[in-house]
Amino acid sequence: MRGSFVEALESRRLLSVALPTSQLVSKSSTSPSSLTATTTTLQGTTINAEATQSFRAVIGTIKGLGSLPGAYSLRGVINWGDGSATSAAQFVHQSDGSIAVLGTHTYSNVGTDTIKVTVSAVPPPGTALPVRLIGTFQSKANVIASSGGVTLEETAGVAFTATVGFFSSNLSSLTMTATIAWGDGTQSSGKILALPTAGLVPRFAVSGNHTYSKTGSYVAHVTVYSSTPPPIVGPTDALTPPVILVAQIDNVIDVLPPLPTA
């Protein structure tokens, strides 16, 4: 009888050990319907650039990424499509929760280039944790010839005053008018300033004021007219330009989100 009692106790002890193990497996087995799906999307964009002029522009956007695990950080490798060395991307978190992907480069030649970007999550240096690929995307660069224009870097929502082109002319600045089409559907008048020059033909600069509401890469087109000689007398309409076309200047203005301060 004593032996039967001991066997019963032993059986109860084994059962008490087995139950927690069974419960642990049950808790770790989560049904697919209870998982929350998170979709990360990477999207490229078209940028503009002037040959031989350095620029920094938003070349893509990441949406729905969420938090990175542990001490992981983002890394982006940019292939600019012109045979040059790759460069690192910069990431800027935006107010809508997305992440702007920025790149800095200088194109040597006019044309169209395909930009390819690889984005990964990387562990802290010196650790054995794996690099996690987040995704890839492509963007396009339209590289235009320099025509006396400049490449500017401005901030979305912030007003600025800047020089938007240079030209040479023997005409007086008092007779000339500049119009700036900002590339976002708006235009305004520019101010023409005479520059000190040692050349035979006087040199001028055009400046303008503007505010871009959205990030992007814009081509701002400057047109300079002159009213000398006096306009020809005759019927005219609102589309008839002044008598002399002095200069046409294309500028690239890269509008960025507010960048973090050091």
pLDDT of residue 34: 28
pLDDT of residue 262: 58
pLDDT of residue 260: 82
- To 5 degrees, how large is the angle CA 232–CA 237–CA 239? 100
pLDDT bin (cut points 50, 70, 90) of residue 172 is confident
As a whole number, mean pLDDT of residues 156-176 equals: 94
Query: Per residue in 185-203, pLDDT tens?
Result: 999 999 999 998 777 899 9
- Compare 218 and 9 and report the one with higher pLDDT: 218
Sorted by sequence, the CB contacts under 8 Å of residue 202 that are 6+ apart come out as 168, 169, 170, 194, 195
- 117-147 as b/e: b if 16+ CB within 10 A: bbbbbbbeeeeeeeeeebeebbbebbbbebb
User: Omega before 242 cis (within 30°)?
Assistant: no
Distance CA(229)–CA(2), nearest Å, equals 127
Worst-scoring range by mean pLDDT, 8-12, 20-24, 44-48, 185-189? 20-24
- Compare 216 and 260 and report the one with higher pLDDT: 216
Distance CA(243)–CA(57), nearest Å, equals 38
Per-residue pLDDT at 230 exceeds 70 = no
pLDDT bin (cut points 50, 70, 90) of residue 244 is confident
Domains of the chain: 41-144 (2.60.40.10), 151-256 (2.60.40.10)
pLDDT of residue 240: 55
pLDDT of residue 10: 41
Tell me the HSE value of 2 on the side-chain side, using a 13 A CA sphere: 0
Distance CA(248)–CA(147), nearest Å, equals 8
Q: Is 250 in contact with 152 (CB distance < 8 Å)? A: no
Helix (H) or strand (E) segment spanning residue 103? strand 99-105
pLDDT of residue 39: 87
**Could you identify the residue written with the tokens 């979709």?**
39
- To 5 degrees, how large is the angle CA 71–CA 75–CA 78? 180
Query: Per residue in 47-94, pLDDT tens?
Result: 999 999 999 999 999 999 988 888 899 999 999 999 999 999 999 999
Q: Is 88 in contact with 77 (CB distance < 8 Å)? A: yes
